[in-house]
Structure 1
Amino acid sequence: MDSLDRLLAERACERVVIDFVHRLDLGEPASVAELFTEDGSWAWPEGERSVKGRDALRQYFGSRPADRLSRRMMSNVLVTVASPDTATATSYFTTYRVDGHEGGPVPPGSPVQVGSYEDTFRRSPDGGWLLSARVLHLAFAGPTPRPPRP
């Protein structure tokens, strides 16, 4: 790959990383599945759980509680292009989340998750980049607080 092709592949993969959190926090969570290959997987070894396949991913992310308010901060996205059709990435995330949100401001609180993602990407037949695997590692974790009721 020449330098420009490598740079374009890195940027496309970074875009998928950011699009993932925007869809979860600000869009339609079930649409996150469209960022994965048909056989894509999402796993978190600490909980020994995984979801495999676009339909299962759509169902998993679509089952997010309707009253959940969340914001994820992404940083340190490092993409490594291995070939014209494959790449990997590591990124850090911090999740602020409140279940039971009924609107209005939320009292300040600590993040409920701090960790990293290990991603594997494949170029799709149309030339775009998709996640083929995402592994979540929680360096710090905690419960999801509910806002106080008046």
Structure 2
Amino acid sequence: MDAHEDSLRELLAARACERLVLDLIHRLDLGEPASVAELFTPDGVWEWAAGGRRIAGREELAAYFGGRPADRLSRRLATNIRVTVDSPGTAHATSYFVTYRVDGNDPARLVPPPPPANAGHYEDTFRRVDGTWLLAHRRLHLAFGGPTPRHGA
């Protein structure tokens, strides 16, 4: 394999990992939150750097993300997604995020914009499984955070 082919494979791998981060956000905000589990390896992990909270495996991930309040409105912004391909089957990334969310949403009314509920960054590791890139581990680092406001409260 020549250097051009290596560079192209690395570029495609980095883009696939970046797309995973964006698909996760889309599913949480505009799709079916429980389906986020499908973006992880079967033994995938989501954990919080502070507090030791950890969710492991697709079943637990689906239950966690599927268990969010039905009246929650959220929008996440992710930026500065920096992917490094480590090998043909592994990669890691750092991305920054800000989350806006409220509970008690009434889809018939426009919600005034709240301040961000949290902001920070993620450290992700990816693994290629049967030709598909998946999240193997996501570690959340909160720089700023607070409770989710309740609309109308």
TM-score of the superposed pair, with normalisation by structure 2: 0.94
Give the aligned CA root-mean-square deviation in angstroms.
1.0
Matched with 1:25 is 29
**Is residue 92 of structure 2 the alignment partner of residue 88 of structure 1?**
yes
Consecutive unaligned residues in structure 1, runs of 5 or more: none
Aligned partners of 2:49, 2:17: CA distance in 1, in Å? Answer: 23
3-state SS, counterpart of residue 46 of structure 1 = coil
Matched with 2:64 is 60
State the 4+ residue runs in structure 1 displaced beyond 4 angstroms: none
- Post-superposition Cα deviations, 1:59-91, rounded to whole Å, max 9, x if no partner, equal 111101100000000100000000000000000
In the alignment, which of 34, 41, 56 is matched to residue 37 of structure 1?
Answer: 41
Matched with 2:125 is 120
Matched with 1:148 is 152
Size of the aligned set, in residue pairs, is: 148
**Is residue 145 of structure 2 the alignment partner of residue 105 of structure 1?**
no
Aligned partners of 2:31, 2:115: CA distance in 1, in Å? Answer: 23
TM-score of the superposed pair, with normalisation by structure 1: 0.96
Aligned partners of 2:21, 2:134: CA distance in 1, in Å? Answer: 10
Aligned partners of 1:109, 1:62: CA distance in 2, in Å? Answer: 23
